[in-house]
A and B are shown apart, each in its own frame.
Chain A
Amino acid sequence: MTTRSHPGEAKWELRLYTAGQTPKSLAAIKNLKKVCEEHLAGRYEIEIIDLLKNPRLAKDDQIVAIPTLVRKLPDPVRKIIGDLSDTERALVGLQLKQLN
């Protein structure tokens, strides 16, 4: 594990892919903000990409499911799908919590 990946210090860069203002997308945005505020307050950045406006990015970033959250930083890249309503799994997916 590199120091960058250590949740305590590194800067977090998150990207959320949605397709329009669907309930699932809205729920994902809401849930994501909540998780970040609780665990990464002050050191995260969220970029929301609406694939309806930028469909080309779906191919470039290998997006199949909507919504998809991609942890660009810290390394390695992680992908989380779903509306993040399962907070436990979201934390595990973001590696903010070890699965045990």
Chain B
Amino acid sequence: MGKPEPLPSPRAKTQRGALAKTPTGISGLDEITLGGLPKGRPTLVCGAAGCGKTLFAMEFLLRGAEQFGEHGVFMAFEETEQDLSENVRSLGFDLDKMVADNKISVDHVRVERSEIEETGDYDLEGLFLRLGLAIDSVGAKRVVLDTLESLFGGFTNEALLRAELRRLFRWLKDKGVTAIITGERGEGQLTRQGLEEYVSDCVILLDHRVKDQVSTRRLRIVKYRGSTHGTNEYPFLIDEDGIHVLPLTSLHLNHPASSERISTGIARLDAMLGGEGYYRGSSILISGTAGTGKTSLSAHFADATCRRGERCLYLAFEESPAQLTRNMKSIGVDLAPWIEKGLLRLESSRPTLHGIEMHLATIHKQVKEFKPQVVVIDPISNFSNAGTAAEAEAMLLRLIDFLKSRQITAVFVHLTAGGNAWEKTDVGVSSLTDTWLLLRDIELAGERNRGLYVLKSRGMKHSNQIREFIVTGEGIKLEDVYVGPEGVLTGSMRAAQEDREKAELRARAQEFERKQRDLARRRAVLEAQITALRAEFEAAEEESKTVAEQDRTREREIDENRSAAALRRGADAAAAKGKRK
């Protein structure tokens, strides 16, 4: 059975002897940073307005308090306590309660230049005192300063500010707190005020791009002193559970490989796949042009999955759940009971609803929640609408890896655009999948019929034959196609050919019977002749016997007569001669 396993992340473990790290608890981030942020040091999180800096920092604190028992201080230079509390409530965190429980301390620092007159020498001891008090009051291990650069808007003495900032960072390190300092992205540098100059341990850049009206958030670790880390740009998203960072590339290719086989839901197709169906945990690509029955094929598989008592997650990007259920019922696949039993979950959304990462994250989340043994994605071709083809491919690669690592059998339906090469997918996933079923139209004699091939199926002896794929009211049927001198025949032509063959067969049978009768007759005639001849022969034999008998009788008579005559003449010599005879 496809037991859900934790996402393998062996590299995420902190290396021995390496920098101590503080886990953020932010989904995916600790994997990229191989354990979290540098413990007891400040980290700079920078990005343009609206990139999610504040949320990032807040989640770091809240998760720290909730999951790791590390209390925190949030020093807000821009938002008030109330604003912050409301903002994080949408992510399911109760900031007010955390504050009331003395787990988190929030301090809003208001710096308004118009209200301040500078009249000589000063320092920011007030800030230090406030921070120190806040840290001590909750026993904080984590500190967030959001956005420290606001200070530059409030004070004019930049040299003094910079000296104070340097002192602040040193002070934070001395305090041993793990800090996040946020900064606004500046022109030509990471932050407007060059904060990266002070924070040298770890710098994370957040980015929010909109391309083709679809927004994508990305995260990059610019620098992480003393630690290896993922260097790519990682897409992330913000949803009702907070931030999710998605590791872009799979870390390794060491999925477990099950030798268990599961039925496709169509006996004949199982037979084509080495007699037993798909491998558990394999990825299956079903491609074909419009209306070739890709969804029907997938629905059969979903049905078979639920029949085994397993769970199936069906992600439909073209049809609503109701529509899909109705349509499948018309071909004899009733999905409704499975939905009621909670074995089947149909999720429909438009591919363009989210950016591609959002889709991936949504799928991740649903898989983690529902724990299905089978996932069907119908179709994947639309993902290129939500991003570029390369992005779609990268996403599918990650998805395949994710599902494989959990031993989930995945079916990807791909709609081949008309006019494209058959054996090609515009999302280049064909090489990533284990089994590839190709459905295609066979157009002959004014008919379009469906044909099914197994293009490839790793690790099994699969059929090399085309089957005609017939969608009936009782489900899908696979029929042999007629392959003859005239090529492949399907549909009514196949039926006609079959009729023709039947007629021929009948004719041949009749011919055979006729020949049999003929033979019988001839045999009868011959036998009659044989009988007659034998009778003749017997007659002749009889006759010859009679003749011989007569001859002998006559001879005897002659002898006797001669002897008698000799006796009568008294010739002893003759009598002796006669005895010698």
Judging by beta carbons under 8 Å apart, are B117 and A55 in contact? no
Judging by beta carbons under 8 Å apart, are A55 and B130 in contact? yes
Contacting residue for A66 out of B109, B111, B122, CB 8 A: B122
Whether, in the assembled complex, B107 has its beta carbon less than 8 Å from a beta carbon of chain A, the answer is yes
Quote the shortest CB–CB distance from B179 to chain A (angstroms).
Answer: 18
Judging by beta carbons under 8 Å apart, are B117 and A62 in contact? no
Whether, in the assembled complex, B154 has its beta carbon less than 8 Å from a beta carbon of chain A, the answer is yes
Residue among B110, B121, B126 with the most chain A CB within 10 A? B126
Judging by beta carbons under 8 Å apart, are B125 and A51 in contact? yes
Judging by beta carbons under 8 Å apart, are B154 and A64 in contact? yes
Assembly CA distance A81 to B111 (angstroms): 12
Whether, in the assembled complex, B332 has its beta carbon less than 8 Å from a beta carbon of chain A, the answer is no
Q: In the complex, which residues 119-167 of chain B have their Cβ closer than 8 Å to any Cβ of chain A?
A: 119-127, 129-130, 132-134, 151, 154-155
Assembly CA distance A92 to B115 (angstroms): 12
> Which residue of chain B has its CB nearest to the CB of A28?
B120
Whether, in the assembled complex, A29 has its beta carbon less than 8 Å from a beta carbon of chain B, the answer is no
Judging by beta carbons under 8 Å apart, are A64 and B127 in contact? yes
Residue among A28, A51, A55, A56 with the most chain B CB within 10 A? A55
Q: In the complex, which residues 36-73 of chain A have their Cβ closer than 8 Å to any Cβ of chain B?
A: 51-52, 55-56, 58-59, 62-69
Assembly CA distance A62 to B122 (angstroms): 16
Set of chain B residues within 8 Å of A65, measured between Cβ atoms? 116, 122-127, 155
Judging by beta carbons under 8 Å apart, are A82 and B133 in contact? no
Total interface residues in chain B, CB < 8 Å: 25
Q: In the complex, which residues 71-89 of chain A have their Cβ closer than 8 Å to any Cβ of chain B?
A: 77-87, 89
Quote the shortest CB–CB distance from A59 to chain B (angstroms).
Answer: 5
> Which residue of chain B has its CB nearest to the CB of A76?
B115
Whether, in the assembled complex, B118 has its beta carbon less than 8 Å from a beta carbon of chain A, the answer is yes
> Which residue of chain B has its CB nearest to the CB of A77?
B115
Judging by beta carbons under 8 Å apart, are A85 and B124 in contact? no
> Which residue of chain B has its CB nearest to the CB of A62?
B110
Whether, in the assembled complex, A12 has its beta carbon less than 8 Å from a beta carbon of chain B, the answer is no
Given the known interface contacts A64-B109, A66-B124, the answer about A19 and B129 at a Cβ–Cβ threshold of 8 Å is yes
Set of chain B residues within 8 Å of A85, measured between Cβ atoms? 119-121
Judging by beta carbons under 8 Å apart, are A81 and B130 in contact? no
Whether, in the assembled complex, A24 has its beta carbon less than 8 Å from a beta carbon of chain B, the answer is yes
Assembly CA distance A86 to B132 (angstroms): 30
Assembly CA distance A66 to B130 (angstroms): 12
Quote the shortest CB–CB distance from B90 to chain A (angstroms).
Answer: 26
Quote the shortest CB–CB distance from A98 to chain B (angstroms).
Answer: 13
Set of chain A residues within 8 Å of B124, measured between Cβ atoms? 64-66
Assembly CA distance A65 to B130 (angstroms): 11
> Which residue of chain B has its CB nearest to the CB of A18?
B125
Whether, in the assembled complex, A14 has its beta carbon less than 8 Å from a beta carbon of chain B, the answer is no
Judging by beta carbons under 8 Å apart, are B130 and A82 in contact? no
Given the known interface contacts A55-B133, A56-B133, A58-B133, the answer about A63 and B126 at a Cβ–Cβ threshold of 8 Å is yes
Binding site for A on B (CB under 8 A): 107, 109-111, 115-127, 129-130, 132-134, 151, 154-155
Binding site for B on A (CB under 8 A): 17, 19, 22, 24, 27-28, 31, 51-52, 55-56, 58-59, 62-69, 77-87, 89-90, 92-93
Other A-B pairs beyond A64-B151, A82-B120, 13, CB < 8 Å: A52-B129, A64-B126, A67-B122, A69-B119, A79-B115, A79-B117, A80-B117, A81-B117, A86-B118, A86-B119, A87-B119, A89-B117, A90-B120
Closest 9 CB pairs of A and B: A93-B117, A82-B120, A85-B120, A66-B125, A63-B126, A82-B119, A83-B120, A90-B119, A19-B125
